[in-house]
Amino acid sequence: MFGIAYGMGSVVRQVVQSFAGEYSAVASKPVPLGTEYFNVKELGEHMARPGGLSSADLVAYLQARIRRVDPQLNAVIELNPKALEAARELDRERASGKVRGALHGIPILLKDTIETEGMQTSAGAFGLVGEAAGKNAPLVDYLIKQGAVILGKTNMTELAGFRGGADGWSSRGGQTRNPHHADADVGGSSSGSAAAVAAGLAPLAVGAETNGSIIVPAALNGVVGLKPSVGLLDRNGIIPASQHQDTPGPMARSVFDAALMLNAMSGSDPQDPASVGAPQGIDYTQLLVPGALKDKRIGYPVTFSNDGETLPVENSAQFNRALDVLREQGAVLVPVNLALADASRYDELLLSDVKDELNSYLGKRPGLPVKSVAELIKFNNERDGTEVDHQPILKNVDASTLTLEQRKGLWDECIRDFRSTIDDPINAQNLDAIVSDFETNSYFGVAAAGYPGITVPSGRDEDGLPTSAYFFGTRWAEATLLAVAYGYEQAAQAAIKPRL
């Protein structure tokens, strides 16, 4: 499984040729060698050439690749039966001179929490398999309007981790595997989205995060993952966990492609209180230019403080090399102390949110076997038995007792505390962003604050697995974070391809 590195000449050609027949019936011509790792710009250029690659060819090729490669990864939980039809229509539009945007004809995978017309949206749970979603989440319509082809849905940690179980496992999709090594941690809960992009099953995927669900799998699978500010993007039509933290976000193999995705996904919900003040109409690629790091003030943690105690940060050699890259590109590195927020009641608040919001969603979604968390627990017990506790977190969710009124003041205080741990050093030192070693788990505080963060590949560790640098900032700082991440990515050139 892991003995062939893509890009290794004749061996790869044999691999490609071995499944060429699978898509020859629907593809009009062979696709260029290495197409599975082309970026969006390269794919667009090939499609723009007379007689060049078509969207239908690309979709058929990736469908065949998924059928061949994905049984080893379990990254894709369902293919869109209408993907080829959509691709052909986009090819006809291009032939007539109409191009919707940078994503015209580009296949994209969606996490299985995002409602997609005619397809299951189950969060990986058999208890949520039933009547297909009646319409697309607004986010999906935004992507389609920009020309994206919905290739399929990705596997994930069941119920976004709120069932309990291994990262990347769902009862419906099985165990997602890290394409860099089958036994490596794949992360959760947008596991399939990250693994699929890393393995060349699609150039782009949409993940969703409550706490680390984009950032963690992106880092562990060696791709770019952007977790936007809560409220920047429309969250309707996405199976919820907590209004205080939920957000969809792009996952791609480059910062530029993530920015293109964010452009296409942009559109907030005016009824969502978290969207008040969200910037609109921004081209998130505009600041992705040479010299993007010059004179950027970037903080990096040298100490953490908690309850009056200050502890030094032990950064990895890999992270210290990332700091060297930033410094060499003209960034001003500023050592900072990161305070830790009081998270003593965080879990209690979050689980109570999940209970109320998941109950509300299930109660409104037609055609499912269950209508509540309690019914889902019963369904799972009847299906999987009760010999072992196979849904411990879901039981804790159902046992939550805090009401919405009780939670409101506690959440307000909790979020203020988490936000201050980021805002204080940024304001005090006039920083553009903060960078940390992914291993320091700083993504937890960023998620709890509802703030944006982006992880970028930084190389490989002693076991040959991907490492990442994690950039984060204050609310609505996506444009600056993308610029900083792009500058680092272009200088470091540290992304690695998996050995499949």
User: At 25, is the pLDDT very low, low, confident or very high (cuts 50, 70, 90)?
Assistant: very low
**What does the alpha-carbon distance between residue 118 and residue 435 come to, in Å, rounded to a whole number?**
41
Q: What CA–CA distances, in Å, run from 291 to 297, 411, 483, 491, 495?
A: 14, 40, 9, 10, 20
| CA distances (Å), origin 487, targets 116, 242, 295, 402 | 35, 33, 12, 45
Question: Taking the CA of residue 107 as centre, how many other CA atoms within 13 Å lie in the half-sphere pointing to its CB?
Answer: 34
Cα angle 124-465-123, degrees, rounded to a multiple of 5: 10
How far, in Å, CA of 74 to CA of 288, rounded? 34
Cα separation, 250 vs 260, in Å, equals 9
**Structure tokens, 238:** 């996405």
For residue 2, name the pLDDT band (cuts at 50, 70, 90): very low
Lowest mean pLDDT among 18-22, 121-125, 315-319, 389-393: 18-22
Average pLDDT of 287-297?
98
pLDDT digits (tens, 9 = 90+) for 72-106: 999 999 999 999 999 999 999 999 999 999 999 99
CA distances from 90 to 51, 85, 259, 263, 336 (A): 15, 9, 22, 19, 50
428-482 pLDDT tens trace = 999 999 999 987 888 999 999 999 999 999 999 999 999 999 999 999 999 999 9
Q: How many residues does the chain have?
A: 500
Q: Rounded to whole angstroms, how far apart are CA atoms 422 and 450?
A: 11
Q: Which two tokens stand for residue 308?
A: 């009056």
55 within 8 A of 99, measured Cβ to Cβ: no
Mean pLDDT on 273-281:
95
Neighbours of 192 (CB within 10 A): 37
Choose which CATH entry (3.90.1300.10, 3.40.1580.10, 3.40.50.10090, 3.40.50.300) describes domain 10-275. Answer: 3.90.1300.10
* Mean pLDDT confidence for 9-24: 35
pLDDT at 211 over 50: yes
Structure tokens at 214: 């984009």
Mean pLDDT across the chain:
93
pLDDT digits over 303-335, tens only? Answer: 999 888 999 998 889 999 999 999 999 999 999
Percent pLDDT > 70 in the chain is: 94
pTM of the complete model:
0.94
As a whole number of angstroms, the distance between CA 286 and CA 300 comes to 25
Going by their DSSP bridges, the two strands 433-437 and 297-306 should be labelled as parallel
pLDDT-derived band at 9, boundaries 50, 70, 90: very low
Radius of gyration of the chain (CA): 22
Q: What is the pLDDT of residues 152-168, one digit of tens each?
A: 999 999 999 999 999 99
189: preceding bond cis by omega (within 30 degrees): yes
CA 268 to chain centre: 18
Contact 214, 168 (CB under 8 A): no
**CA of 24: how far to CAs of 17, 27, 31, 100, 150, in Å?**
11, 5, 10, 27, 21
What is the SS3 assignment for 483? helix
Q: Which residues are the active-site residues?
A: 111, 189, 213
Tokens of 38: 């082309």
The amino acid sitting at 247 is T
pLDDT in tens, 326-383: 999 999 999 999 999 999 999 999 999 999 999 999 999 999 999 999 999 999 999 9
Q: Which two structure tokens, joined as six digits, stand for 457?
A: 């590949």
Q: What is the pLDDT of residue 28?
A: 55
Q: Which residues of 286-306 are buried (b: 16+ CB within 10 A; e: fewer)?
A: ebbeeebbeebebbbbeebee
Got the DSSP string for 361-430? HHHHSTT-S-SSHHHHHHHHHHHH-SSS---HHHHHHHT----HHHHHHHHHHHHHHHHHHHHHHHHHHT
